[in-house]
Structure 1
């Protein structure tokens, strides 16, 4: 599948995993060669949920910073390594304490702060519960509070608000800049060129883009839709990294069409060489400070897992 150099590096990674009692957890958006040597490939929620049950002493997270933080919060006794600690999610930082404090002051006990898992540990510590793109609607619907401050993603928050009109959803001014850059005009062009292809869109996209979608869902839900439907072509409106898993699940008979430049440059920082290096030298370790903030962040993640188990 890959050239001799990549194959040699992959063999090195496999050997180091055995030596370190390590497991490699890779996000769908990282490079195909990294996904190919990963023990598990999934979205940030699936990997965080899975990691809690794994016996390995070392967790290597091929993803961005908030994923490493979540893994460490949920597995404080394990060593969590990031192949590139500088790989970050811009949206994860698009929330501040003042926004949360102002909403709590205005609505009191009838407010719930609902935090998308794609967020920093600090943002999680300010929140009542974390959610994923797949369970955000059901969790918000189940919350006893009428007023919901949804952070940090305004696009996912707007989608949730449309699905749960009985709630008052307050939007935060944050977004994934890479999903938000995908335009409705680009999707419409692909629809004209491929009129039979269903449009599968991630809810981090803008409202105008989501209006064109046949399926709106998390990365995992997009993959499942394609794997269980009969169309030969699909317009996939999320990051191109997911193509590897789509092709693996659906086979060579399907064609997946992406808008131009739909790549997460932060996930692209994760290379096979960096995975090998962090395993070799045990570098890029994630450390979380002890204290109330970390405990609150962990509690919001645990509530997310509890809701998922219902």
Structure 2
């Protein structure tokens, strides 16, 4: 670690203590950002964890919808997003105005939306879900329920297949990173490393999922990598997760799955990589940029999340 970086980290830790802040970092952020975080993980779990703390400030090292979710669950805390331009290709594929117009054709349908959506879409949603509990959420509904699932077509169709729900309309959105993985290159890696197990996120295309030994959310993939006896894994999700996998399993080997175009760096989310130590330090110093949400919209969005959490508690 260079001296400047060490000084920057020390300053962040000092500011965090002075301002009673908690730093959250998604698994897809760069390693040095994850190193200064109080908590690392998936977006909803991080927001729920922060809500339980006595911190006055939440700094979310991630993308915009994640910071919004933290604000939804912690309306009395100041929420900072160090890089306001850090969006999400999946969330951006389903704008609230477009989704509202879309829903006019589906009166009487239960709306289930993935957590990777804007606060506006969550406010139009009956029940939120994560990639880890989407099956549970769908199966909590009556067998004949008519359902709209948004925004990820790959996750939606995967859940539709697992649950056998035929009355399920899936919004046509996708994550730019998970769309780009190459089946052919994954199969080539499997030939090169025949002992390796393939771990894939359900946001990937069906053809990619068919190559997988295990399919799960980011947290589930991390757990599987730590508990399975295999010592080599081909990881088919955003490459930032490899830092945490390697950190928890230094004796194992983790190989990032390549995208169709290996020169484009498409297995990295450019938005996540926009968050840096310098931007975290600046945000803590200025207590800005701050995430501000209309209270009525926030309350409706919170309802969709609380209903999801209630389903989990009822099991």
* TM-score of the alignment, normalized to the shorter chain, above 0.5: yes
Provide the rounded CA distance (Å) in 1 between the counterparts of 2:125 and 2:25: 26
Q: Distance in 2 between matches of 1:8 and 1:230?
A: 40
Q: Does 1:28 align with 2:27?
A: yes
Distance in 1 (alpha carbons) for counterparts of 2:27 and 2:170: 27
> Are 2:303 and 1:299 equivalent residues in the alignment?
yes
Deviations 1:77-118 (A, max 9, x none): 000001111101121122254555555544x43x21100000
Q: Secondary structure at the match of 2:55?
A: coil
Residue aligning to 2:217: 218
Separation (CA, whole Å) in 2 of partners of 1:172 and 1:102: 9
Counterpart of 2:253 (choices 238, 252, 255) is 255
- 1:28·1:41 contact (CA, 8 Å) conserved in 2? yes
Cα RMSD over matched residues?
Answer: 1.5
Displacement of 1:162 in angstroms is 0.7
**Residues 153 and 176, structure 1, Cα contact 8 Å, conserved in 2:** yes
Correspondence for 2:75: 76
**1:38–1:102 CA distance, 2 compared to 1 (3 A):** closer
Hey, which bits of structure 1, 4+ residues long, moved more than 6 A? none
CA deviation digits over 1:243-273, x for unaligned, max 9? 111012112x111000233101000000011
What is the TM-score of this pair, normalised by structure 1? 0.94
1:141–1:167 contact (8 Å) kept in structure 2? no
Corresponding position of 1:267: 272
Unaligned runs of at least 5 residues, structure 2: 259-264
Q: Quote the offset at 1:238 in angstroms.
A: 0.5
Query: In structure 1, what is the equivalent of residue 119 of structure 2?
Result: 121
Relative to structure 1, the CA distance from residue 114 to residue 183 in structure 2 (aligned partners, 3 Å threshold; closer, same or farther) is same
Q: Please identify, of 159-168 and 210-219, the stretch whose mean Cα deviation from structure 2 is larger.
A: 159-168
Q: Give CA deviations for 1:139-190 in whole Å, capped at 9, x if unaligned.
A: 0011136221110000000110011004422111100011101121121111
Quick check: 28-37 or 162-171, which moved more?
Answer: 162-171
Count of residue pairs brought into register by the alignment: 305
Other-structure match for 2:284: 279
Unaligned runs of 5+ in 1: none
